[in-house]
Each structure stands twice: as structure tokens, then as C-alpha cells.
Amino acid sequence: MAVTKPRVRDEITICPIEGEAVLYDPSGSHLHYLNHSAALVLDLCDGSVTMKEMAGEIADVYEMRVDEVEKQVRKTVRELRARKLLVPTTRREADEAARAAESARTAIDEREEIRIHVTRSS
Amino acid sequence: MVSKPYRFGRHVVGIRTNSEAAGEWLDKTFRDHELFDEEADPYFSLYMADNDNKKGIGKRFHILYKEATDVLKSLDAAEIARRLLWELDSLGLYYRDDGIFVETSVVERNGVTALVPTPILPYIRLTGRKVEREFTLPDVPVVSVDLVSGRLGPVSRQLPVSDAAFADLRRRVGQDGAALGPPRAVPEEVDIICAFHYDPDSPPIIPLSRALAVYYLARNAINLDKVGGRALEPLAKAIEGKRCYLLQQARAAQAYELLLTVLDGDEDALLAAMSE
């Protein structure tokens, strides 16, 4: 089985602020806030390291046990995946992401239409 | 009653008024926008006080309505017209990308300024007229944040209407009261950033990290779809070095008191509210 190396989707804008982060996802215009530990994991999601390696790096810096950190890293990566911030790793996730992007585009188009034609609230 | 349809950018908008004089002013001012082949229900209504009619007690107000809601009451017709202009301009904010247009208001008390989400102001006003006495409230409900510097400013006007045109309206409809000066300036920066939330179980005041403050501000950006991720860095610059708080809005009176507390900066009161 191939080992997953999580990577943030290219379209996501990341604004790191004092150890935390605010992210903008153009598909659906979603905003995300990440606390210190989630931002730390996200920062390592560049597609070059596995979750185990991430845990090793963090454990080194913070002088913690690797197995404890790895649990937390896996949980955070699951959360980032659930928020669709990472590049999909399965066909199913990829299809879902494509559908979400398409429906976001349509929703924005529809919103524009509504704003043009319906100035009175019904 | 005079009612006509106009096109502003992508929007077709009906404007009506009870005053022949104001109708003539609208004709003259928006001549290039008037539509002859389309109809539109009145969206904005200008009710101008009849100053020749001396019946009744006290002064008479001009009123700008947006649908059935009174947006502004004023003794100064020019102020009503300025606000109408602003409302017409704001129809296009969603499509613009020459700034980040945040639905937030600059509230001031004793020289201390705070950015407060605009939708909270009508709620706080439920506590009565003391709100106007204790705070200086803004003229317009949206602040522009510069895409490079993160400095605050007014939303730039798109419809070219000169100050002389506003004076002209004053002359046409008459004036029962002092003419107001130009609108209050938006400061380039503020001292405090406030966000509000509803969670009766949390302390009344919670200090906000800068990242969370940016998140809350960005959520109120009208043109976030248009500006996208470029909005985040300037918003972060806008709040650099500012005190940021998350305030409880479970009750209007409490939200009002908490806003007073953070603007007064009384350390003891702040600490008490944070540890409740």
C-alpha cells in the first residue's frame, strides 16, 4: 500500500498569523480558522513527508513522544481532509472534490443572477 | 407621487418620491441612468417633509426608505440624498475588487475607536437612545480595507454626483434645520476590533487571537467571492497591534454594556468580564 504524503490543495490561500492560520477556499468561498496545532500540521502538508515523519519532526521540536504526536497528527489530517483542504488521495474523494467545485461555480453564477434581477425581496 | 426606473450598473431600481421638487432633482441628477423601456417597482422612496406646512409640533424629517424600512431620517435633504447615493453605489459592491468591503462600522467613544459588525448595531440600539449619546455611530455601514496597505477608508463613490448637486436639492425642497456638514471620515485604523457571538455559557468577553479576528472580519466581507484569498493579508495588516475581543450578544443590554466596557478600556471591568 502506498504511503500517503498529505498536500494542501493549490487553490487554497493560507494566511499564517502568529502561529495560527486563516484559510480561504475558492470552491464555495469557504473560510477556515486553524488553531496553533492544526496550523503546525498544515504547514507540514507539502506533499513531501508522511504523517509519521510529520509526527517525528514535531516531537523533536516539542520534545514529546512520537506515538502520542502521531495520533494527534493523524486526527488533524483527517479533519483537514474532511474540510477538503488537502489534495484528494482516493478516486472517490477526487470525484467529490470535482463535484463540489462545479457546484460552487454554479452557485456563484446563480447568486450573481439573483443579485442582478431581483432587487426587491419577495 | 413620482416614480421612475433607473439602471445602475447591473441593477434596475425604482425610485419614488412624494415631492415634485425632489422628483425634478432625481430627473436631473440621474438623467443618464433613467430607463424608458423597462419598469421597476420602487425600491427606494424619498419622503420629503413639507416645510411650508407649519401644522404639527417640532421639526419635520425627510426620510429615505429602502423597501418598507426607513434607512435614514434627517432634517437635511442633502444628507438623505447622500445616503441614497451610497445605497445605489452599494448595489455594486459585490462585483467590485478595488478594495475589501467589510460590513463593519467604526464606533467611537471618547476618542477610542472600534470596528463592530454592522448587523449588531440595530440590536444594540434596542436598548434605547442612550446608544446615540454614549457612542459616535458611523454614517455608512461598510468600511473599505485597502488591498495593499490594509488601511481603512470609505468606500469610494462610483456615481459621480457633485457636492453642488446636494446643495441644489436643499434649495429645491427647502430646509427646516441646520444643514449637516460632510459625512464623518473613516479613520485609517482603529484601536479595537470587536466580534460578537451567541454563547450564554462562555465568559461575556473573550480576548480574540489575531487569526480569529481576521476570520470574523473576512466573514463580513461583502465581496469576498470577488477578491478571494487576496483579502486575508490586508485584513491581517488592518488589525495588526490592535486589541481584539469576542463579545457576548445573548441580550441587547449586555451587548451594549460590553461594548462600553471594551471602549472604556477599564482593566478591572475587562478582567471581571473575562473571568465570569
CB contact under 8 A, B43 and A17: no
CB contact under 8 A, A29 and B232: no
CB contact under 8 A, B218 and A31: yes
Question: What is the distance between the alpha carbons of residues B150 and B235, in angstroms, rounded to a whole number?
Answer: 6
CATH of residue A25's domain is 1.10.10.1150
Q: Does B225 lie at the interface with A, CB-CB under 8 angstroms? A: yes
**Shortest CB distance from A119 goes to which of B12, B94, B95?**
B12
pLDDT greater than 50 at residue A121? no
Per-residue pLDDT tens for A65-113? 999 999 999 999 999 999 999 998 777 777 777 776 777 666 655 555 5
Domain contains A81: yes
Per-residue pLDDT tens for B101-152? 999 999 999 999 999 999 898 888 888 888 888 898 887 889 999 999 999 9
pLDDT greater than 50 at residue B192? yes
Give the model's pLDDT for residue B93: 92
Q: What is the ipTM of this complex?
A: 0.83
Give the model's pLDDT for residue A8: 96
Domain contains A89: yes
Domain contains A17: yes
- What does pTM read for this prediction? 0.85
Domain contains A6: no
CA B8: distance to chain centroid?
A: 20
Domain contains A8: no
CB contact under 8 A, A13 and B228: yes
Give the model's pLDDT for residue A117: 45
A112: its cell numbers: 450573481
Domain contains A19: yes
B66: its cell numbers: 429602502
Q: Which of A107-111, B39-43, B141-145, B238-242 has the lowest mean pLDDT?
A: A107-111
Q: Which residues of B touch A108 (CB under 8 A)?
A: 225
The full DSSP string for A55-121 is: HHHHHHHHT--HHHHHHHHHHHHHHHHHTT-B---SHHHHHHHHHHHHHHHHHHHHHHHHHHH--S-
Q: Which domain holds residue A43?
A: 13-117
Average pLDDT for B182-187? 81
Question: What is the distance between the alpha carbons of residues B241 and B236, in angstroms, rounded to a whole number?
Answer: 10
Confidence of residue A52 (pLDDT cuts 50, 70, 90): very high
CB contact under 8 A, B225 and A29: yes
CB contact under 8 A, B11 and A116: yes
Question: What is the distance between the alpha carbons of residues B152 and B81, in angstroms, rounded to a whole number?
Answer: 24
Measure B211 CA to nearest chain A CA, in Å.
6
**Shortest CB distance from A33 goes to which of B10, B212, B231?**
B212
Measure A19 CA to nearest chain B CA, in Å.
9
Per-residue pLDDT tens for A105-120? 666 555 555 444 444 4
Q: Which residues of B touch A85 (CB under 8 A)?
A: none
Give the DSSP letter of residue B231: G
Average pLDDT for B30-55? 81
Confidence of residue B51 (pLDDT cuts 50, 70, 90): low
CB contact under 8 A, A31 and B94: no
Domain contains A1: no
- Which of A37, A13, A40, A39 has the alpha carbon at shortest distance from A27? A13
Pairing of strands A20-25, A13-17: antiparallel
Q: Does B222 lie at the interface with A, CB-CB under 8 angstroms? A: no
How many structural domains are present in chain A? Answer: 1
CA torsion A108→B224→B157→B72, rounded to 10°?
Answer: 90
Average pLDDT for A9-15? 96
What are the distances in angstroms from CA B231 to CA B163, B188, B244?
Answer: 32, 17, 19
> pLDDT exceeding 90 applies to what percent of chain B?
53
Give the nearest chain A residue to B231 (CA atoms): A24
Give the nearest chain A residue to B232 (CA atoms): A15
Q: Does B228 lie at the interface with A, CB-CB under 8 angstroms? A: yes
Q: What backbone torsions phi and psi does residue A109 show, to the nearest 5 degrees?
A: -60, -45
Q: Does B40 lie at the interface with A, CB-CB under 8 angstroms? A: yes
Average pLDDT for B173-182? 70
Domain contains A47: yes
